[in-house]
Amino acid sequence: MIKNLIIDMGNVLIQFNPALFIDRQGIKDIEGHQALMRKVFHSVEWVQMDWGVLDESQCESLVLPRLPKHLHKAASQLIHNWSSPVVPIPGMADFLKRCKEAGFKLYLLSNASRRLHDYWQDIPGHEHFDGLVVSADVGLIKPQPEIFEHLLDSYQLKAAECLFIDDMPLNIAGAYQAGIPGFIFRDNLEELEALVFGKQ
């Protein structure tokens, strides 16, 4: 029986859409768009922030020299403040509230930099969570089974009583390695609700 929901952030609770974020910086030309996508979001440094190896300022100092100067302001904004404004996934805040009222424990498990703690309270439904594990805080990253085991140990949870919800199949596979069943979330909230509330 499911007692605990372990929930990803990006594209589950809020949108993580780099193309949208670049558009919000007013970058219209294709070359500039592609450069920011490649040099910021698809960079090693971005992953290193999630791993806790770099902070935003360190990432910026490494990324900006690889971009033309007219893209520096946009790149800095994307590195330091991509999450503003937060774009919630429709229906998720209500789903979290219903889960909490039904007695489920909720835990966040996110690949994110330490800055997540700065905008966590801007995410609708955050108040329903019982705990969170952020990759940068623990030096582990999904899909490593160790990050799932860290969460289980930290909150004294049984893997078989958990359900992991993430938009990435690779991360779901990592959860399986730790004995945690998973659900691939791709805007299929009704299917998720049927699974969760059908197993109470």
What confidence tens digit (pLDDT) does each residue in 78-124 have? 999 999 999 999 999 999 999 999 999 999 999 999 999 999 999 99
Q: Which residue from 82, 51, 89, 52 is spatially nearest to 165, judged by alpha carbons?
A: 89
**pLDDT over 90, % of the chain:** 97
Enter the pTM of the model.
0.95
Mean pLDDT of all residues in the chain? Answer: 97
Given a cut of 90, whether residue 74 has pLDDT beyond it is: yes
3-state SS assignment for residue 86: coil
What confidence tens digit (pLDDT) does each residue in 160-193 have? 999 999 999 999 999 999 999 999 999 999 999 9
What confidence tens digit (pLDDT) does each residue in 33-47 have? 999 999 999 999 999
Given a cut of 80, whether residue 200 has pLDDT beyond it is: no
Confidence of residue 1 (pLDDT cuts 50, 70, 90): confident
Pairing of β 182-184 and β 105-110: unpaired
d(CA 49, CA 59): 7
pLDDT at 198: 85
Domains detected in the chain? 4-15+88-197 (3.40.50.1000), 18-81 (no CATH)
The answer to whether 77 and 25 have CB atoms below 8 angstroms apart is yes
- Indicate the helix (H) or strand (E) that contains 184: strand 182-184
